[in-house]
Structure 1
Amino acid sequence: MTDETRPAREGSTAEVAPPREPAGGDVFADLYQVERPVITRRERLMSVTGLVTSALVAVMALLPSAYAIGGPGPTYDTLQNDEAGALVSISGAETFEPSGELRLTTVSVQDGGSQIMTMGSVLRGYLSEGQYTTPRELVFGTTEEEAEQQQEQSRQQWVTSQEAATVSALEALGTEVPAVLEVAEVAPESDAFGVLEKDDILLAVDGEGLDGFSDLTAAVESGTIGQVLTVTIERDGSQQDVDFSLVDNGFGEPMMGVYIDPEFDLPIDVEVAIDSVGGPSAGLMFTLAIMDLLTEEDELNGAAVAGTGTMNSTGDVGAIGGIDLKMIGAERDGADWFLAPVANCAEVVGHIPEGLSVVAVEDIDDAYDAIVAIGAGQTASLPTCEAVAG
């Protein structure tokens, strides 16, 4: 074999020399006698930048993040009564065996600042339709003290929601709950500002005694904006009458502009066997569970209904957060129906899981009528969020 150049193979445009030992430099160039490519500064910079970016992304995916990640949490059947015991127990009144399920729904939030939750997890949560991400300080605070304060606030809201649910359930069933109506605060825009004082106890409006919170609500709702009320109060152990006008609540409705801290005298005791849930959003489902247990009628007739919403002592259903995730959890755990606050309907539309039917409710009467209709199979006239939001 000689060193002279041989003809290229058919289909080739290059000439190939016999192999020889590399003389240093690029083995590929020495073997095949091709010209070494010239790498420009721009190309070198882009290559280095790409490597650095890839390295940073890899490191960020492993580092603890400063975000919290939320997703569908567990659901709890408030009518559950098995070998572990009843989830909602009532003493002081006759109760009846229920059927079906009334599931309260939750959102599970994981701390993205831990060693387990990384930036990679946050990015996956951000891109997922079944999760959300938010700066962790909005959920857990920036200090340990703030985190403890938020947890305590959540526990207090949980306890308060149970009391409000009991009051609302009893009064919806026709039992008025006596209460001491104590002034907690007077709004500056109220005509009662400077007239009523903190710790005043409201006894009567225009000569009509106030036996419970619903009496006060009725007195205000039956009035008109600008109407002067004569309110009998107890202050420092003595009674007196004070006058002030109802003001506009911003929606064209009358209000006193006074925050009341009612001390209810409940005729029954309700115990809830859940210690892993916080906040006020389970109020609606607790109220329905109490009503179901206290009534002989089989409202659900075996139906599985989930839902969410705050509940005040006058029976109003309030908006909550994370309703799209709660619907996912409800469908996952076998619910066929979901009760949603009217105020959340705009967030419901377009996010309803397949197989789940959503009913819009504004107060406890709406919600109770809905579960009765569902149990009876008469659901055609139930209001939907699509109709409300549209």
Structure 2
Amino acid sequence: MSEEQQPQNPGATPLPAGAQQPFGIPEPDPRDVRRSRTLRASGILAVVLGLSALVLPTRFVVESPGPAFNTIGEVEGTRLLSISGEKTYPTSGTLDMTTVYVQGGGQKRLPFLSVLEGWVSPHQDVIPEELVIPRGTTSEETSEQNTVAMDDSQQLSTAAALTELQIPFRQSLTVAGFATDQNSQQVEVGDVLLGINGKPIVGMPDLRAALKAAGDKPSELEIERKGKKQTVTVTTTAGAEGQRQIGIYLGNTFKFPLTVKFGLENVGGPSAGMMFALGIMDKLTPGAMTGGKDFAGTGTIAVDGTVGPIGGIAQKLVGARDAGAEYFLAPADNCSDVIGRVPSGLDVIKVETLQEARTTVEGIAGGKDPASFPSCG
């Protein structure tokens, strides 16, 4: 359209020759232009900050189902349990120990987007980092601690299995470290505790009872250091619950009449204790404990067979069901954690001791209704 053909706009200011402003649109107010630019910049900044927040590291870890390992079976051609020095018997079915993948924490913090995915997933849990990795502890240190915990649980599982089967062995308490400097000059790391105030020490109950009886008086502690016996005098302080304390971390050492080798690597923590103990018992007794059925479970174990609670049980239930288990042995103290989270087709039975776990497995293997045993959820 030629310039002569344009309609007239009586309210507009005539343009100089060559001006390019479109016909009929007034020139914008400079203040509006500045406001528009500011709003656009703010919007872009908000988007950038929002996207950045999705990739920034967080102080959360995400737990998800891990693999299950048959304690009476093999992993990549290696037996999880190998026993020598005692007659063993064939087994069948499964006695799976269960695991949890833990992502994040320490030097491997997860971005918010990964944490958000964990919150949304029904099979994952998001928990604060410090509940898994205490502040000031590196990921490597936590891994080392988990490895030590697994080694300890393997020794305890052997001791618990032999206790249940009434096979004698020797147990000793040793000095593992110091909680305070109270008796650090009297004993050394590696000392074996033999007796106290004239009475032998077999386990922690013996030591606790003797310290309680002595009250605030010093005690005569008989130890073995580098193969030589000697007696030292230790003092005690009152604990929060009235018990007497000597400020020493103690560990267990055992001398078994047989050798158990564990063929599992890259798995840490103490939670496989009960299932290892059941696997050892199954191999040392005639007949298949499981009757060919598929069991899984979790729980720490003590020398006397006490089963303790663990973390990540909801994820372990999923991992067990994915592996084909039909029955799951859960520590009684974890029952409240599984309510509403039991996978379809999995019976969860609560146990407090190794003896109860054994009775449950043998009972179901013999045809008893799983519902006849105490249930978790």
Q: TM-score, normalised by structure 2?
A: 0.74
User: Letter of the aligned partner of 2:261 in structure 1?
Assistant: E
Distance 1:55 1:226, change over 3 A: closer
After superposition, the CA RMSD in angstroms is 4.5
User: Letter of the aligned partner of 2:171 in structure 1?
Assistant: A
Does 2:125 correspond to 1:132? yes
Select 1:373's aligned residue among 344, 348, 363. Answer: 363
Where does the alignment leave 5 or more consecutive residues of structure 2 unmatched? 8-18, 26-31
How many Å apart are 1:85 and its aligned residue?
Answer: 3.1
User: Letter of the aligned partner of 1:382 in structure 2?
Assistant: F
**Farther off after superposition, 255-264 or 175-184:** 255-264
Select 2:80's aligned residue among 87, 91, 95. Answer: 87
Cα distance between partner residues in 2 of 1:362 and 1:249: 26
Select 1:233's aligned residue among 222, 230, 252. Answer: 222
Distance 1:297 1:241, change over 3 A: farther
How many Å apart are 1:172 and its aligned residue?
Answer: 0.9
Does 2:287 correspond to 1:297? yes
SS at match of 1:328: helix
User: Letter of the aligned partner of 2:102 in structure 1?
Assistant: V
What residue in structure 2 maps to residue 11 of structure 1? none
8 A contact 2:61–2:126 mirrored in 1: yes
8 A contact 2:107–2:138 mirrored in 1: no
Does 2:344 correspond to 1:354? yes
Select 2:329's aligned residue among 323, 339, 358. Answer: 339
Match runs of 1:72-221 below 5 Å:
72-81=65-74, 84-111=77-104, 118-134=111-127, 139=132, 146-184=138-176, 197=187, 201-204=192-195, 209=200, 212-213=202-203, 217=205
**Farther off after superposition, 61-70 or 77-86:** 61-70
Indicate the structure whose relative CO is greater, using CA pairs within 8 Å and at least 6 residues apart: 2
Distance 1:124 1:238, change over 3 A: closer
How many Å apart are 1:115 and its aligned residue?
Answer: 9.5
User: Letter of the aligned partner of 1:167 in structure 2?
Assistant: A
Matched length: 352
Identity of aligned residues (%): 34
Cα distance between partner residues in 2 of 1:240 and 1:41: 87
How many Å apart are 1:114 and its aligned residue?
Answer: 8.5
Distance 1:308 1:166, change over 3 A: same
SS at match of 2:82: strand
8 A contact 2:223–2:229 mirrored in 1: yes
Does 2:313 correspond to 1:320? no
Distance 1:137 1:344, change over 3 A: closer
How many Å apart are 1:133 and its aligned residue?
Answer: 3.0
What residue in structure 1 maps to residue 296 of structure 2? 306
SS at match of 1:75: strand
Distance 1:65 1:202, change over 3 A: closer
Distance 1:100 1:26, change over 3 A: farther
How many Å apart are 1:203 and its aligned residue?
Answer: 3.5
Cα distance between partner residues in 1 of 2:350 and 2:223: 41
Q: TM-score, normalised by structure 1?
A: 0.72
Distance 1:267 1:321, change over 3 A: same
Distance 1:281 1:249, change over 3 A: farther
Cα distance between partner residues in 2 of 1:140 and 1:224: 36
What residue in structure 1 maps to residue 375 of structure 2? 384
Deviations 1:237-284 (A, max 9, x none): 456698999x9995x9x8887754332112221122211201111111
Cα distance between partner residues in 1 of 2:83 and 2:285: 12
Cα distance between partner residues in 2 of 1:352 and 1:108: 18
SS at match of 2:268: coil
SS at match of 2:67: coil
Select 1:279's aligned residue among 248, 269, 272. Answer: 269
How many Å apart are 1:121 and its aligned residue?
Answer: 1.9
How many Å apart are 1:52 and its aligned residue?
Answer: 3.8
**Farther off after superposition, 342-351 or 299-308:** 342-351
How many Å apart are 1:142 and its aligned residue?
Answer: 7.4
Cα distance between partner residues in 2 of 1:63 and 1:243: 52
Deviations 1:58-87 (A, max 9, x none): 343355555433211111111114771312
8 A contact 1:112–1:122 mirrored in 2: no
How many Å apart are 1:319 and its aligned residue?
Answer: 1.5
8 A contact 1:161–1:310 mirrored in 2: yes
Cα distance between partner residues in 2 of 1:157 and 1:336: 28
User: Letter of the aligned partner of 2:288 in structure 1?
Assistant: D
Cα distance between partner residues in 1 of 2:356 and 2:144: 32
What residue in structure 2 maps to residue 270 of structure 1? 260
Cα distance between partner residues in 1 of 2:213 and 2:107: 56
**Farther off after superposition, 344-353 or 65-74:** 65-74
Cα distance between partner residues in 1 of 2:95 and 2:355: 16
User: Letter of the aligned partner of 2:252 in structure 1?
Assistant: P
